[in-house]
Amino acid sequence: MDTQEKPFWNPYLAGVALGLVLLATYLVMGFGLGASGAMIRFGTWVGWMAAPQAMENHPFFCSYVGEGKKVLEDWLVFEVVGVFLGGVVAAYSAGRLRPAVQQGARPVGVTVRLSLALVGGFLMGIGARYGHGCTSGQALTGGALLSTGSWAFMMSVFAGGYLVAPLLRRVWR
C-alpha cells in the first residue's frame, strides 16, 4: 500500500460499520445481504440470451427464466450492482483505483495467478449453490440471525480455507 493511499479502516470499526449496513437491511427489507445469488442469475441470463428455449425447458434454469419471469429484476442483482459502485467510489476516493493483478509477497506468474483466480471462483460458484449462499448471504446474514445452517457453513468455509492454505503458501506468503 503506497503512501498516497488512504489507510484501511480499523477492522473492528469496519466490522461495526458493516454490521450496521446489515442491520439496516434487516430493518428495511426483512432479509439480509448476498452476492452469489446475483451471480447465478447473471450467468443464467447470459445463457438464456444464447439459448432461450434450452434454458426455459431445463429443470434447473426454468425457475429463473420463462413466462413472466425477469431473471435480472431481483433484489440481489440490484444490490450487487450497488456493491460494485460502492467499491469503485471507495477505491477511487482512497487512491486505490487502478488496474492491477494482486499478488502475494513473492509474486507468481500472472497466468498462474489468474488461473488460480478462475478455478477458485469456479469452486466458489459451486460451493455457494450447495451452501445456499456465500460469506455475505450465509456467514454474515444468516450468522447474525443465528441460523443453524449458516453457522455450520461459516465454520466449513474457514475449515476449507485453513486446510488448503499450506498447499498455496508459495502463492500468498
Partner 1 sequence: MSMLPLYMKDAFGYQTGLAVATAIGFGFGFVLERSGFGRAPILAAQFYFADMRVFKVMFSAIVTAMLGVTFLAGIGVLDLSAMQIPETFLWAQIVGGFILGVGFILSGYCPGTSVVAAASGNIDGAVTVVGAILGSVAFGFFPSSWREFAEAGNMGASRLTDVLHAPQAVLALGVTLMAVGAFMGGEWVERWSAARGQRSAPLSAPETRTMVFLGFALAAFMGLSTMMLPTSKGAPAPRAPQTVTPEALAAMLIKDPSALYLVDLRDAGSYQLSHLPGAQSIEGLDVASLSSTRTLVVYGGEIPASLQRFGGATMTLEGGFEGFKLKILDLPRLAPDATPQQINEYRRQGAYHEYFTGAAAAPPPAAATPRKTVAPPQRKGSGC
Interacting positions 24-43 with partner 1 (CB under 8 A): 24-31, 33, 35-36, 39-40, 42-43
Which residues, 41 to 60, sit near partner 1 by CB under 8 A? 42-44, 46-47, 58-60
The amino acid at residue 86 is G
Q: Residue 150, interface with partner 1 (CB under 8 A)?
A: yes
Question: What is d(CA 48, CA 42) in angstroms, rounded to the nearest whole number?
Answer: 10
**Count of residues that interact with partner 1, criterion CB under 8 A:** 127
Q: Residue 70, interface with partner 1 (CB under 8 A)?
A: no
C-beta closer to partner 1: residue 52 or 104: 104
Reduced to 3 states, what is the DSSP secondary structure of residue 167?
A: helix
Question: What is d(CA 44, CA 51) in angstroms, rounded to the nearest whole number?
Answer: 10
Q: Residue 68, interface with partner 1 (CB under 8 A)?
A: no
* Binds partner 1 (CB under 8 A): choice among 49, 51, 52, 118: 118
Work out the end-to-end distance of the chain between its first and last CA atoms, rounded to an integer number of angstroms: 16
Helix (H) or strand (E) holding 15: helix 11-29
* Binds partner 1 (CB under 8 A): choice among 49, 52, 170, 172: 172
Kindly state the cell numbers that stand for 127: 460451493
Which residue do the cell numbers 427464466 mark? 65
Binding mask 77-116 for partner 1 (x = CB under 8 A): -xxxxxxxxxxxxxx--x-xxxxxxxxxx-------xx-x
